[in-house]
Amino acid sequence: MWTLGICLLALAGPLAPVNPTVHVDDFLSVSCPAPEHCYLLDRAGNLFYSSDGGINLRLRGNHRSVQLRKLIAGGLIEAWAIDQRGGLWHSRDGGRSLEAMALPDRSAIMDIETLGSTLWLLSGKGQLFRAQGMNLYPVGSPLPGRAVDLFLASAERIAALDPASGLVYLSTDRAKTWTRSRPLGGPVKNVVMGSGPSFSMIVFMPGQVALAHNAGISFHFLALPEGVTSARPLTLLPNGNLLLGTDRGKLLLLSPKQESIHLLPRQLGSAPRAASQVGDNLIIVGDAGLLALAEIVDSKVHQIQLRNQSGLKLTGLGSPAPKVYWGVKADKQLLLSVDGGLSWKRRSPDPAVSGFSFVSAEIGYVLGQEEKVWGTRNGGLCFQELGNWPGTKLFDIHFIDQDRGWVTGDMGSLASTQDGGNSWTLHHLAGHKTLGQIQFVSPKHGWILADHNTLLSSIDGGRTWQTKLSGKGLLPTLYFVDDQTGWVGGTLGRIWHTQDAGASWTDQTAAINATVRALFFLDAERGIAVGDNGLLAVSQNGGQIWTSFHLATQTAISSLACDSEGRHCLLASDRGLRWASKFLGFFSESFQQRK
């Protein structure tokens, strides 16, 4: 019988909410052509659509080969985009497909913006164009110099800038004539103009912003708050104030009338890159899939809520029940989510948790420091110490039900219990220095990765073990769906598969040159492999064919957890908690296969 141990009600404070609906790379732009309807573009070329103001996203298409850098939606089905080389693209099916277009002057596109439902384009020759359907019409006279950034306060008031020279061009007569400012004394990054008869023009520079009032281009300067070296404009608010973002995930509010800049209290964790108003709400997107929603009340920003936070970095994940996820944070704290990953609470019984195994929403077992094992039977509110092995470093823990479990460690150490941790039987696997990941599929049949390069099998509950796979290099992970069928991940995208309990193996290498760090199979057919260099591959036929999807190559995915139906998965990466939604069906049809 367990006795009362450590109870953690005082430590159960919530963490920032996370939206795991989809995976995204760094967001580049967001465009909301109608209330609640938004398009979001990320650096990997994924185009997402939301019909509820950013709460839920669905993938519309992947345009990785095009290398888009900005997209603007002209309506619910029409969209325009520019690529890294200045090419122009048009979609008439909500971003599912793109067709290339060319400007009449045959030059590259520097920037695109919308005014109402009309798209405006700035060409490399300084000419403005207005789009009407598939046709492009020149507007006004060309700029008297080079410019790469465009801003429209109205059809009459237009600004453009040349970041390199620090020059700003202004027109108040629909681009018929242009006025050029004096050089601002340094590089400029963005330009924004307010609306109204006495509007302000704001130019962003390192460490400061330049303001010009009343349609003039005579600037004076405002310093950014202490500790802020640069900022970028995100969106104009209804009261004429401007929301700014920094590379360190801070938000600022600039008031042109009061000529003041102050920090907002909410930190975002990743750099915000763009924002768009959706009715009375605001959607903010940025690096590492940053997605935040806020309310606009009395022209002020309130209740900023993170929906996808890159700052939550986990080193392990598990899901014992629908919407229930456990994870180990980078600082070794144990976290619990009971809403599918939207919000998290601390549930650590130990200062340094290294692993866990939960068999239900309530019952689970945790590895802590000083080689301790803890158990809980009330969802982590209270933990009881169940054993410790001083001098033995523990690596993994696995339970198949509330009574039967195993713990692995160094020097060939293995411990098993048949009574929920009240008593333990110690084993020693001679000839092995390290016993790592362990999985049992039944009380008798289990598997261990030993010394990072050998797979061992037991058919008697762990009393004896036999070598089933070796000589294949580093073997970081395994996954078995029954006592006959399983997979082992290796380096260079290699995945080894057996259908006869390890008597024979088939090489099912995924077409990605990266180490496989984690595997999950819903059944003998449907599975996922993740790992280094953005490795993400899905199979629908037991690993015979792996469909690989493009993620950021600098992303290393260390673990994943999926619910029992494979409809929702979370991925833990070195860039933060990533995503999941209908992964074993929807994504296999929607993501573009990597060539």
pLDDT in tens, 383-430: 999 988 877 899 999 999 999 999 999 999 999 999 999 999 999 999
Q: Please state the three-class secondary structure of 197-260 as a single string.
A: CCCEEEEEECCEEEEEECCCCCCEEEECCCCCCCCEEEEECCCCCEEEECCCCEEEEEECCCCE
Tokens of 205: 């520079």
Assign residue 195 a region (left: φ > 0; alpha: ψ between -120 and 50; beta: otherwise). Answer: beta
Judge contact between 498 and 486, C-beta under 8 A: yes
Residue 215 has pLDDT above 60, yes or no: no
Mean pLDDT of 331-342: 80
Q: CA 534 to CA 527: how far, in whole Å?
A: 17
Q: Which helix (H) or strand (E) holds 589?
A: helix 588-590
Tally of residues, the chain: 595
Phi/psi at 588 (5° precision): -65, -25
Query: Whole-angstrom distance between the N-terminal and C-terminal Cα of the chain?
Result: 57
| Residue of 499, 508, 545 whose CA lies nearest to 526 | 545
More confident residue, 306 or 377: 377
Residue 441 has pLDDT above 80, yes or no: yes
Report CA-CA distances (Å) from 302 to 30, 157, 294.
20, 30, 6
Report CA-CA distances (Å) from 38 to 131, 293, 353.
20, 12, 40
Residue 294 has pLDDT above 60, yes or no: yes
Q: CA 255 to CA 242: how far, in whole Å?
A: 7
Q: CA 101 to CA 284: how far, in whole Å?
A: 29
3-state secondary structure (DSSP) of residue 66: helix
Q: What is the pLDDT of residues 469-491, one digit of tens each?
A: 999 999 999 999 999 999 999 99
Q: Tell me, what's the pLDDT at 199?
A: 59
Residue 4 has pLDDT above 50, yes or no: no
Name the DSSP letter for residue 67. Answer: T
CA atoms within 13 A on the CB side of 473: 10
CA atoms within 13 A on the CB side of 290: 25
Q: Mean of the per-residue pLDDT values for the chain?
A: 83
Residue 20 has pLDDT above 70, yes or no: no
Q: CA 558 to CA 574: how far, in whole Å?
A: 8
Q: Which helix (H) or strand (E) holds 588?
A: helix 588-590
Which amino acid, one-letter code, is at 107? S
Which amino acid, one-letter code, is at 45? G
Q: CA 220 to CA 210: how far, in whole Å?
A: 6
| Confidence grade of residue 269 (pLDDT, cut at 50, 70, 90) | low
3-state secondary structure (DSSP) of residue 287: helix
Tokens of 187: 């590089």
Q: Tell me, what's the pLDDT at 129?
A: 94
Tokens of 428: 């020693």
What sign for the dihedral angle of Cα 60, 66, 70, 73?
A: negative
Place of tokens 């790592």: 436
Highest mean pLDDT among 91-95, 308-312, 586-590: 91-95
What sign for the dihedral angle of Cα 344, 349, 352, 356?
A: negative
Q: Tell me, what's the pLDDT at 588?
A: 33
Q: What is the pLDDT of residues 350-396, one digit of tens each?
A: 888 999 999 999 999 999 987 899 999 999 988 999 988 877 899 99
Q: Which residues of 173-203 are buried (b: 16+ CB within 10 A; e: fewer)?
A: eebeebeebeebeeebbbbbbbeeeebbbbb
Name the DSSP letter for residue 410. Answer: B
Opening angle at CA 503, ends 501 and 507, nearest 5? 95
Judge contact between 127 and 147, C-beta under 8 A: no
Predicted TM-score (pTM) of the model is 0.56
**Other CB atoms within 10 A of residue 271 CB:** 19
Q: CA 94 to CA 33: how far, in whole Å?
A: 11
| Confidence grade of residue 591 (pLDDT, cut at 50, 70, 90) | very low
Q: Tell me, what's the pLDDT at 486?
A: 97
Q: Tell me, what's the pLDDT at 338?
A: 82
The helix/strand count (H/E) of the chain reads as 1, 56
Q: Tell me, what's the pLDDT at 418?
A: 95
Opening angle at CA 577, ends 265 and 363, nearest 5? 110
Q: Tell me, what's the pLDDT at 556?
A: 84
| Residue of 484, 492, 532 whose CA lies nearest to 508 | 492
Q: CA 202 to CA 112: how far, in whole Å?
A: 19
